[in-house]
Chain A
Amino acid sequence: MTFALNSEIGKKDIVIAIIPSANHKRKALEIAKYLSQRFKRICYVNLTQPLPSLLGEMEKNNVACAKFLFVDAITKKNPKKNQSNCIYVNSPKALTDLSITISKSLETKAFNAVLFDSFSTLLVYNSPQTVIRFAHDLFGKFRAAGILTIITADEGTDKSVLGDVSMFADVTIRVKKGGSP
């Protein structure tokens, strides 16, 4: 686990982390571990893999799952298997639901950090223009919460969209394949 943020990045900054597509899961896990080692309460917005698989990977890599509240838009709701530390959203296409759920979570829980994984998923389900406006709205919420926010994006993400969205962020980092940015 080698992910680390530059010490110049502030505790309230909004960071876009561009990660290699081939290493996405591993790198997201590294970021989650990094955050769990530094913060008490983290909001993990999961748009990339089913929660059981994510939790399994986290446990296998000794990431303290108890520190996370998950907002999950990938895993299908199943009342018998639902996790208590997870709020489910129907789909990454349900941007209004996603926005409301994140807002409520930020308002009611005392988070120290947010991991949003991944921005690229939003572009699979929504038009670039919609995603840019959604990102602006969402980044505003993170900024108002005043907490460190890391938003992952795949290397292959539309550069024009990423360029626009990065204007609402404070820092963009490129996570290398092997190690820290």
Chain B
Amino acid sequence: MTKTILIVDDETDIRLALGILLKKEGYAVLAAPGGKAALNLLQKKAVDLIIIDFFMPGMNGSQVLTEIRNNKKLKATKVILLTVATFGKQGEKKLKDLKVTAYIQKPFDNKALLAKIKKLLT
């Protein structure tokens, strides 16, 4: 069965590039330009994995993740945090508490990202 991945990133180029990459690999792709749009989308569509950027205007990645983990229907969803950010001890603890499934540093390597996604979705 086709797995669905939601990309949440305010950068259009990243959403497009990631979308093309993931579709080529046979995944169904949804995209949202921000946290609120993503949460609205998740109310209507079920997804297998969410890829979230950390730095976004409005809600950042950690805030979106908090909402996801507080939602009964969504809380078990696997999440990859895609980020340029380097976190301190406090941030690492918070993300651990929020059960981030994996981190990918921007700029990311396509092969490494696909390998991580494949591992998470099999």
Contacts and interface: CB of A to CB of B under 8 A. Distances in A.
B94 interface: yes
A14 B91 CA distance: 12
B103 interface: no
A81 to B, nearest CB: 38
B77 interface: no
Contacts of B91: 166-169
A168 B57 contact: no
Given A164-B62, A167-B62, A139 B88 contact: yes
Given A129-B57, A164-B60, A164-B62, A140 B86 contact: yes
A168 B62 contact: no
B120 interface: no
Chain A interface size, under 10 / 10 to 19 / 20 to 34 / 35 or more: 10 to 19
A170 B90 contact: yes
B38 to A, nearest CB: 18
A133 interface: yes
Contacts of A31: none
A31 to B, nearest CB: 19
B46 interface: no
A143 interface: yes
Given A129-B57, A164-B62, A167-B94, A143 B89 contact: no
Interface in A128-178: 129, 132-133, 136, 139-140, 143, 164, 166-172
A168 B85 contact: yes
Contacts of B60: 132, 164
A167 B90 contact: yes
Nearest to B60: A164
Contacts of A169: 88-91
Contact of B85 (A136, A166, A172): A136
Interface of B: 55, 57, 60, 62, 85-91, 94-95
* A-B pairs with lowest CB-CB distance, top 6: A167-B91, A170-B89, A170-B88, A169-B88, A168-B88, A166-B90
